Amino acid sequence: MKRLLALLSTCATVVGLTVAFSPHAVAAAGCKVDYTVTSEWQGGFQAGVKVTNLGAPVDGWTLGFTLPDPGQKVVQGWNATWSQSGSAVSAAGIDWNRALATGASADLGLVGSFTGANPEPTAFTLNGVACTGSVDDETTPPDPGDGTPSGTPVGINGQVHVCGVNLCNQYDRPVQLRGMSTHGIQWFDQCYNDASLDALADDWKADLLRISMYVQEDGYETDPEGFTNRVNGLVDQAEARGLYALIDFHTLTPGDPNFNLDRAKTFFASVAARNAGKTNVIYEIANEPNGVSWAGIKSYAEQVIPVIRAADPDAVVIVGTRGWSSLGVSDGSDENEIVNSPVNADNIMYAFHFYAASHKDNYRATLSRAASRLPMFVTEFGTVSATGGGAMDRESTTAWLNLLDQLKIGYANWTYSDADESSAAFRPGTCDGGDYSGDGVLTESGALIKSRISTPDSFPTG
């Protein structure tokens, strides 16, 4: 399993490596390079690359090496700008990882193809300085899940799955995952970096990060490769901190997810194949279906889920519901349309969204009824009105959170950002300053949600 511990830049040019490397480590006075083969198949493979600077600090770096066989070709890569000319491959650092102090590392990732033999790459250099140290043939790739920080949500619970109407951990015990949702990563990319994710894991003591990738509105459809790789980078950042990563295919306008069916199949085929070995990934295949029947949503789900299952048979998939994921309440319906005609798939949950100032008793009553018959996950909610603005409704928010705790329903709050709206957790300008850990940077909503999320999880292990 790959352990890519760094955030992917949206601006990065991503291609990838194409050889099947044997597990090894190469060390030299200038740098050390560790390769971990994460998966291998006929004509292709995937690997992680860790580059450690052993020389003087650098501000801008390029890793170079040679592919010995002419059949080895660059296909895809991440966390660097990759290129290949003949047998020579280079990977250049990008904005967020271009500076490497002495002893500092950057984690990269590769997918490749090959024909014929698969010899190891040779002649590693960092900024032209040869990495000519010895090869340690005893190094072996870690088992899937190895390296996840102990004591973290993923470290304790492992691969989650649906059992009955609950989300359960590796011990088959119901768990509630609590966390935050990003805003649209096309607008608030600067809010998701080492400092902010450290704060989410260490100060907020969150269990998950929902990665909100809009499809329209200057999102995925404008740069499928760039947004896919940005999502993958955030998955890696979450994994490095022991957080679950909820990948949100954020469809909103138009509301019929079938409009994006082909895009969804392409996106989920890619991210599922890339992240299949991870234990921290959950897939949300349609954010807020609206203006579409449950039959239409169900049809979409039953076409997208098999694409995910073909690559990742074990991950939980969350299906959006009618009326902006309100179980149909916002369209004058209720949970019975799903109970009477559930999605034909295993290990799935259904999404429910609410905004506390707009959605109150009748919405809570519907979710309470549904939770006894359907596996539910609140993948998005706000403390304010459905517009994302207005005053925080503390009373309704508290009633909602108490209900979710009682029912052991997981949730992600909208949003972990400094958007100029009252639903945001941070005050405007916070993401420009880089301090996310103090209470002084929080909005009223952020302070309330942090106080709830940071209480002990007490995950059952027996």
Catalytic site positions: 288, 380
Helix (H, G, I), strand (E, B) or coil at 462: coil
Beta strands in 19-154 (DSSP E): 24-27, 31-41, 44-53, 58-59, 62-66, 73-78, 81-85, 88-92, 99-100, 105-113, 122-126, 129-130
Please give the angle made by the CA atoms of 331, 333 and 337, to the nearest 5 degrees.
Answer: 125
CA-to-CA distance for 200 and 377, rounded, in angstroms? 20
Tokens at 8, concatenated:
């992917």
CA-to-CA distance for 25 and 32, rounded, in angstroms? 7
Inter-CA distances, 418 with 58, 235, 378, Å: 32, 21, 22
**Residue type at 424 in one-letter notation:** A
CB 131 within 8 A of CB 45: no
Please provide residue 252's backbone torsions phi and psi, each rounded to the nearest 5 degrees.
Answer: -140, -50
**Residue type at 28 in one-letter notation:** A
CB-count burial class (<10 Å; 0-12, 13-18, 19+) for 356 = buried
CA-to-CA distance for 346 and 365, rounded, in angstroms? 26
